[in-house]
Each structure stands twice: as C-alpha cells, then as structure tokens.
Amino acid sequence: MVSKSLKSEIYSKGQGVGYRRCWLLGTSRKNWWNSIYVTRDGCGYIGLGLHELGHTIGLYHTQSRHDRDNYITLHYENLVYDWHDQFNKESESTNYNYNITYDYGTVMHYSGASPGLSTTGKPYMMPHDPKYLPTLGSYILSFYEKLMVNLHYKCLDKCPKESWKKCENGGFPHPRDCSKCICPSGYVRNNLFDLQPPGCGKELTATDEYQELWDVVGQESYDRYAANDDFYFCNYWIRGPPGSKIEVIFQNYTESLDYPGCVWAGVEIKTLEDQRHTGYRFCSPEYGGTSLISEHDMVPVITYSRVYKVTSLLRYKIHSYGSGKTKSTSKPVSEKTPRPTPTTATTKKCYTRLLCTLLRRSFKFCETTKYDFNFKKKVCPYYCD
C-alpha cells in the first residue's frame, strides 16, 4: 500500500545493451514520478519487480539497516568493487524500522554469495546464523515487510482495535477488509491452511521415533520461457505434545535448483521463537543432514516451486519434552501414496557438508573466536572438535 501523494511508473524494457539492467531511477518523493527499469534479460522476475517497488515506497536494502552489524558480517574483499555502495549502512537518523526485527528472508535483502558479485567464489556477506546463508536474496515478500509498509503508511489505522483479536500467530488485520487477516507464512486465520493444490500439505504428529515427510510440488508442464511468476505452495504443520520441542532434519532435495535465495523452489522450516520471522530455506541436496530444533511444539514447513515438480525429504521427531511431560504414545502418520525419489544422488550422510566446508575454507570458522565453541559444535558438529 502506498501514499496517495506518491506516484510510481514502471518501465518494462527489452534486453539490455550489453548487460542486464534493473534499477530504480529517482527516490520516493511526494508528487514526483519514479521510474523503475526492469529488463527481460535476467531481471524480468516477480521478486526483482517487488524489490524495485519496495524502493519506490521507501524501503532500504535490508543489509543497509543501521543495526545490520548485529546480524551480518560483510567481506568486501570478496565483493565486486562497483557494488560496494549497495551495502552502505544507514544511520539511525536516516533509517527507522518501526521496532521490527532484522529478517534474513526479505525481498529487500541481497544474497550473500551470488556468483556474479563474488570476486573470489566466497561469500561476501555472511549471516551471524550461518544456516541462513541460502535464505538471503528471497523473491518472496516477507511478513515483516508487509507489516512495516502498512505501519509506515498508517494503513492499519483503518481497522478497529477489536479486529486485531481475530488475527492469531502475530498477524494483523487486512486494511482493505478488516474482517480478514494478513498472517505469517505457514499460517492463516483460525489455523486453516493456506490455499494450495488439492492433496497438498497436511498436519503431522511427531513421536519419539523419526518419521519422514516426502513432498512434491510444482508445475505439471513447465515451460522455461513462460512467465512462471506464480509460486505453488504446500503447507505442513508438525505438532508435538504441549511444551515439547521438535527436531526437523532437511534430508534431501531435487538437484539443479541451488541458487542464492532459493528463488526457484525450496523448503522453509520455521523453528524460531518468533514465528513472524522467515524460516530457514534450503534448496540443494548439498545441505542434506542439516538439523533444526524448534522453540515451539509446532513447526510450520512450507514447500514451494515456480518451476517443474521438485521433491523434498525431511525427517522429524520429538527432541525434548516440557516440564512434567511424558513420552508421546501417538503412532506414526501412515503414508497413503507411493514415496517419490528425488532426482539426486544418494542422501548425504555427513552433517551440513557444503555449509561447513564453505565456512571453514572462507572464514576459518572452527578457528575463529567470533563464535563460541558450543555454537560452532551446533553448526558443524563433525568438523569443529
């Protein structure tokens, strides 16, 4: 939602002259036109369009927030020099975030290891939580971005305070229809699943034994030259007993979709305390074995694709129980459909092999004093002894 006094104009150009182009011309000023240039050659995607629109309505790059040093570390030695200014940090006087926390999954956040921006093949931006590296550079509008824009333009003032009570899980009233809610990913009002393809997504019950979650999502007939801007989503809820914590392991995934930000397809696993925050996203079998422990007794899992059908495999179980709780007696969820096989090599057995190797080679992760020993063991238990 934008201010009535703010006018925007979008120019969709053909192929750029010798290089790919997509940028904003001008800044967000009242009674002025802003021009967005989005070329078909590499920039004509929904996520990049959202990114440039974000600039026209006043959003900075997320990595330029005044508090960014609490969340990311920049390695300018690995970054193309001409792009250094895209990572300038704002001050508290120029950047106000409405007390909204830093989110690694925003469309306004650059990726941390794009091949076209790295001069060394190493990441030029590393999240302080390294498991978020594949999430940086998203094409999916985050919940916190929606909230920030609605707060900035006072759209939420249209809804009475009573309407907020209807919105669970940290959601807020839809300013165009206060009887509806805008909810974090993986949630909708009254605990119903988002609209999704038939037979897609379900509620699962975690037990003391590992169970498998197989998912297939994507287009039946994929044309790489078509627009392909619409994501197909599947939503799962993995529940444990009240007060318990759940372990979810990203086990395996279809190959050839490993791209910064998981912009083509991926799996989002929401294990953080703040469920409004974007979860961890993965889109490569190389991250097979990555283990996440939830802060709640329910874990939303969102699979998505805007290309052909992709297969994901996750494993899950109860990690621990709340005070005074006993072991679960629930039975594993039965599988009613044949299990597909990801088009990839044998499931990786080593824990987060790609991530740990990358961290060790690029930043001497096991030797650095920036992170304490327990954190390094948690991220790379078989590497940092």
Binding residues for Zn(2+): 51, 55, 61
Segments of the chain assigned E as strands: 7-13, 22-25, 33-39, 72-74, 125-127, 172-174, 177-182, 203-205, 211-217, 232-239, 245-253, 265-269, 280-282, 290-293, 298-305, 310-320
Contact (Cβ atoms closer than 8 angstroms) between residue 207 and residue 295: no
The residues facing 245 across adjacent strands are 320
Contact (Cβ atoms closer than 8 angstroms) between residue 136 and residue 261: yes
- Our answer to whether residue 52 is catalytic in this structure is yes
Q: Residues 6 or more apart from 74 whose CB is under 8 A from it?
A: 63, 87, 124, 125
Q: Residues 6 or more apart from 326 whose CB is under 8 A from it?
A: none
Contact (Cβ atoms closer than 8 angstroms) between residue 96 and residue 149: no
Contact (Cβ atoms closer than 8 angstroms) between residue 224 and residue 308: no
Pull the structure tokens for residue 339: 């299990």
Please state the residue numbers annotated as binding site. Answer: 51, 55, 61
Residue type, position 211, single letter: Q
Q: Residues 6 or more apart from 285 whose CB is under 8 A from it?
A: 252, 253, 254, 255, 342, 344, 345, 347, 348
Catalytic residue among 52, 145, 247, 268: 52
User: Which residues have a catalytic role annotated?
Assistant: 52
